[in-house]
Amino acid sequence: MANYVGIDLGGTNIKAGVVTDEGKLLNKVTCKTNADRPMEDIIHDMGKLAEEAIKDAGLEVSDIEAIGIGSPGTPDNDEGLLVYSNNLPFVMAPMRKLIREVIDLPVYIDNDANCAAMAEAVAGAAKGAADSVTITLGTGVGAGVIVDGKIYSGFNQAGSEFGHTVLVSGGIDCPCGRKGCFEQYASASALARMTREAAEKNPDSALNKVYEQQGEWNAQIAFIAMKDGDETAKEVVDTYTSYLADGLANAINAFMPEVLVVGGGVCNEGDPLLIPMREKTMSRPYFGPGVKKTRIELAQMGNDAGIVGAAMMGKSCVDHGKNGK
C-alpha cells in the first residue's frame, strides 16, 4: 500500500495527514499559519508539519510517495509555485523548492477547492464517478471539477472559478471586479446579507428577533425564523435557493457531471434547504429525452476534505508521471 501526505494550507491553520492510496486518512496534525510572517517561514513550517505527520503515523519518509498541497489561490504545479493568493503573503512563492529544503519528497500543488473536489471523487459523495463537480458554499463559492478522474483547472491552473461566473448582469459588485457574480447571490455571506436587508425592510419580522439572539447576521437566521412561520424569512430562503439553483444548473449544463456535490455550512440546514435546492436545480438544466440526469449529493468529507484531496491530487500527479522534484 502506498501512502501520501496531504497538506491543507489555510489563512489561520495548516493541517497535514498521511493518506493511503485508497483515500483513507490515517492521522492529522495541525499548527497555526501566523500568516503575517514571511512566506519562507510559513512554507518551511509546512514541510516540518509533513515530517511530524509521517512520524505520528508511525512511518518513515521512505514510506511516502509524495506530498500534495491544497492552497487558496492560483498554483503553477509545473514549476512548483503558488503564483498568487488573496489571503496569504504569497506571490510567485517557490513552494516546492522551500518544502524540499525540509523534506526530500516530490511536491505537488493545487487550489484548495480542486483538492476538496478530488476528496469527494475518491472517498466521498462522488466516489465511483469519473466526472463530478463539487461546489462549496462558504464566505465565497468554491468549485472544483473532476474530469475522467483528474482535476480540470484549465491551461493556466486558474480554471473552475464558478463563483465568479455572472448570475445577474449588472448586479452586486464582487471583489473580483465583476458585477453579479454567483458567489454574491449563493454564498453563505450572500444569504446573511439578504437576511439583513430583508430584516431592515421588515422591522416586525422574526428575523430581527433571531438576530438579537444570534448577535450577528449569519446564514442560519433565515432558516430559524422560517421554522417559526415567518413569511419574510420564507421569502429570503426562497430567493436564495432560486439563485443557488440557477448557478448549480449552470455548472451542470457546462460539464454534465455524473454527480454534483454541494458542501459548506449552509447545507447543515437539512431538508428546508436541500429539498427546494434539488427540485429547483433539476428543473433547470437541459436533459433531453432519454438523457441521463446528474445526481445531486451532499459533501461527505467535511473538515478532512483538504488533507485527503491534496494527498489524492499528489497521487494523481504521480500516477500520470508529473515531476514533483
Statement to judge: residues 134 and 14 lie in one domain: no
The residues, ordered by sequence, that sit 6+ positions from 28 with a Cβ below 8 Å of its Cβ are 15, 16, 17, 53, 304, 307
Give percent above pLDDT 90 in the chain.
Answer: 89
Statement to judge: residues 8 and 136 lie in one domain: no
The mean pLDDT value of the chain amounts to 95
In a domain? residue 117: no
Name the packing angle between helices 231-255 and 188-201 (round to 10°). Answer: 150
d(C-alpha 20, C-alpha 25), whole Å: 7
Q: How many CA atoms lie less than 13 Å away from 131 in the CB half-sphere?
A: 10
How far is C-alpha 98 from the geometric centre of its chain's CA atoms? 25
Q: Total structural domains in the chain? A: 2
d(C-alpha 92, C-alpha 73), whole Å: 11
Statement to judge: residues 152 and 229 lie in one domain: yes
Paired residues of 141 in beta bridges: 137
Statement to judge: residues 142 and 167 lie in one domain: yes
Query: pLDDT tens-digit profile of 33-61?
Result: 999 999 999 999 999 999 999 999 999 99
Statement to judge: residues 254 and 180 lie in one domain: yes
In a domain? residue 8: yes
Query: pLDDT tens-digit profile of 151-178?
Result: 998 888 888 999 999 999 999 999 989 9
Residue-range definition of the domain harbouring residue 280: 125-299
pLDDT at 85 over 90: no
pLDDT at 147 over 80: yes
Statement to judge: residues 253 and 163 lie in one domain: yes
Query: pLDDT tens-digit profile of 195-237?
Result: 999 999 999 999 999 999 999 999 999 999 999 999 999 999 9
Statement to judge: residues 220 and 248 lie in one domain: yes
Q: Band of the pLDDT at 288, cuts 50, 70, 90?
A: confident
Distances (CA, A) of 59 to 56, 91, 176: 7, 34, 43
Question: Residue written as cell 459548506?
Answer: 264
pLDDT at 215: 95
Statement to judge: residues 81 and 180 lie in one domain: no
CATH code where residue 54 lies: 3.30.420.40
Statement to judge: residues 94 and 242 lie in one domain: no
pLDDT at 42: 96
